[in-house]
């Protein structure tokens, strides 16, 4: 079951790849909510804390604030290099910075780590009030709960409205929730490769990933965070990542990059791997060292619950509440979040322009990799 672990000479990964107390803080800052957060599914979450990073300087009236929302395995480190506390470079580094689309000489950019995440925000790997990791006791969250926590962060930063809210995939779900829940606080909106509600097929792919994590013998019902190196549910999380990554890319891209070629000198007929197998193994091994399986489950379930029309009279009525000038874009090769879902958003949001299409061979991940095209959309909205 531990096929995702690195060769024997490389140290075993910790039980959880989460940021833990005592780790280098890096560029993170923290906001803590004094009162408990009431949850949509019932109950409440005490001791809510969000990690976040900022770039640029706020205007005196905070009118230049931009909210950047990450996808499933992202975090607050949207821009910047690797370093202590940040095992990976900024996931939208080409978009944020001086002279870039989100020009930090003009904009005050804020990127929180989502509630339920594992890079400094309250989640399954963080300590509950009793001092033990939340683990299996962590409650069910929805996108609305996560946005409610982010609204508290905005209040603490003195931001009464965002000049722009932008996100793709899971981040796009939260961006849409912002515009529906807080229309008066969302001036412009950029939705990328996302949907009004998780579809049956998206839930199906996600459910298989959840079974992979929970089926790992080291999952321990979600209580594994204080186990030793190599004793976390790495195999289950790695399998989930392999499956997810196939849905994030396109078949033509995989065919062009790998075809049926073996990995280096390995012979697939004699226990070796095809190149594409090695690629998926690499993606799995990277994730288990920087992410937490419990957060993967929590956030995947929150994505499955996403339905902008729930309790609001349906999708059309919910979308009619959006007052932000909006651009909706999808990726032409995306087989996980097809263009038909973005077309529904563009047609249903009153202030949305026509659907924009990002051309990319990279499938769903095109919203991350095609920085030039995304930057052009940002310029169109707030340039």
Burial 30-46 (b: 16+ CB within 10 A, else e): ebebeeebebeeeeebe
- For residue 106, pLDDT over 70 is answered with yes
pTM of the model: 0.96
H or E segment at 3? Answer: none
Locus of tokens 């097809």: 338
Residues whose CB is less than 8 angstroms from the CB of residue 14 and which lie 6 or more positions away in sequence, other chains included: 229, 232, 289
What residue spans of the chain are helical by DSSP H? 143-156, 170-181, 200-214, 234-248, 251-257, 275-290, 293-305, 315-319, 339-348, 366-369, 371-382
pLDDT at 135: 98
Question: Tell me: the pLDDT tens digits for 150-165?
Answer: 999 999 999 999 999 9
Helix (H, G, I), strand (E, B) or coil at 127: strand
The pLDDT value recorded for residue 10 is: 76
Torsion sign (Cα): 335, 336, 342, 344: positive
Could you give the percent of the chain with pLDDT greater than 70?
98
319/5 Cα distance (integer angstroms): 45
User: Could you read off the pLDDT of 182-215 as tens digits, one per residue?
Assistant: 999 999 999 999 999 999 999 999 999 999 999 9
Is residue 332 packed enough to be buried (19+ CB in 10 Å), middle (13-18) or exposed (0-12)? middle
Dihedral sign computed on CA atoms, order 141, 144, 147, 148: negative
3-class DSSP state for residue 170?
helix
94: Cβ contacts below 8 Å, ≥ 6 apart: 100, 371, 372, 375
Q: What pLDDT does 124 receive?
A: 98
Read off the pLDDT of residues 310-367 as tens digits, 9 standing for 90 and up: 999 999 999 999 999 999 999 999 999 999 999 999 999 999 989 999 999 999 999 9
Q: What single string gives the DSSP state of each residue in 340-380?
A: HHHHHHHHHSTTB-SPEEE--SSGGGHHHH-HHHHHHHHHH
Average of per-residue pLDDT values in the chain: 96
| CA-based radius of gyration for the chain | 20
Contacting residues for 236 by C-beta, under 8 A, at least 6 apart: 1, 212, 213, 214, 215, 216, 218, 219, 293
Apex CA 166: angle with CA 59 and CA 169, to 5°?
155
Which residue is associated with the tokens 């065919």? 255
> What are the phi and psi torsion angles at 48 (to 5°)?
-70, 130
Give per-residue pLDDT as tens, 242-279: 999 999 999 999 999 999 999 999 999 999 999 999 99
> Would you state the pLDDT for residue 1?
44
What does the pLDDT read at residue 6? 45
pLDDT, tens digit, 9 for 90 and up, residues 286-319: 999 999 999 999 999 999 999 999 999 999 999 9
Per-residue pLDDT at 234 exceeds 50:
yes
The pLDDT value given to residue 9: 65
Any idea which residues carry the catalytic annotation?
169, 334, 364
Do residues 378 and 190 lie in contact, with contact meaning Cβ atoms separated by under 8 Å?
yes
pLDDT digits (tens, 9 = 90+) for 25-70: 999 999 999 999 999 999 999 989 999 999 999 999 999 999 999 9
Angle 34-38-40 from CA coordinates, rounded to 5° = 150
How does pLDDT run across 17-35, given as a tens digit for each residue?
Answer: 999 999 999 999 999 999 9
- Per-residue pLDDT, 383: 86
Rounded distance, CA 306 to CA 198, Å? Answer: 6
Q: What is the pLDDT of residue 8?
A: 53
68 - beta bridge partners?
A: 166
């Amino acid at each position: 079951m531990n096929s995702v672990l690195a060769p024997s000479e490389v140290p075993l990964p910790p039980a959880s790849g989460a940021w833990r107390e005592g780790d280098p803080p890096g560029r993170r800052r923290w906001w803590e909510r004094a009162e408990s957060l009431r949850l949509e599914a019932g109950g409440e979450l005490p001791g809510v804390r969000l990690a976040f990073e900022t770039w640029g300087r706020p205007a005196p009236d905070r009118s230049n604030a931009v909210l950047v929302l990450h996808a499933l395995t992202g975090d607050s480190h949207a821009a910047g290099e690797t370093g202590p506390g940040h095992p990976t470079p900024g996931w939208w580094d080409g978009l944020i910075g001086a002279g870039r689309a989100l020009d930090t000489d003009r904009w005050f950019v804020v990127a929180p780590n989502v509630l339920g995440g594992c890079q400094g925000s309250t989640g399954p790997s963080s300590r509950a009030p009793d001092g033990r990791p939340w683990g299996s006791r962590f409650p069910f969250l929805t996108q609305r709960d996560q946005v409610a926590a982010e609204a508290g962060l905005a209040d603490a930063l003195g931001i009464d409205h965002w000049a722009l809210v932008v996100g793709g995939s899971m981040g796009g779900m939260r961006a849409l929730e912002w515009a529906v829940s807080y229309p008066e606080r969302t001036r412009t909106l950029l939705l990328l490769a996302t949907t009004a509600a998780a579809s049956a097929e998206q839930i199906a792919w996600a459910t298989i990933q959840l079974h992979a994590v929970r089926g790992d013998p080291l999952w321990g019902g979600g209580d594994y965070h204080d186990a030793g190196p190599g004793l976390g549910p790495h195999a289950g999380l790695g399998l989930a990542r392999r499956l997810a990554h196939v849905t994030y890319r396109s078949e033509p891209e995989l065919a062009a990059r790998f075809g049926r070629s073996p990995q280096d000198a390995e012979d697939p007929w004699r226990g070796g791997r095809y190149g594409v197998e090695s690629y998926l193994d690499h993606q799995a091994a990277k994730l288990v060292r920087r992410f937490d399986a419990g957060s993967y489950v929590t956030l995947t379930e929150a994505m499955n619950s996403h339905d902008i029309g729930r309790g609001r009279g349906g999708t059309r009525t919910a979308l009619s509440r959006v007052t932000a000038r909006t651009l909706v874009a999808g990726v032409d090769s995306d087989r996980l979040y097809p263009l038909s879902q973005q077309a529904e958003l563009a047609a249903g949001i009153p202030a949305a322009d026509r659907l924009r299409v990002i051309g990319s061979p990279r499938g769903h991940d095109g919203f991350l990799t095609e920085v030039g095209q995304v930057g052009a959309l940002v310029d169109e909205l707030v340039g």
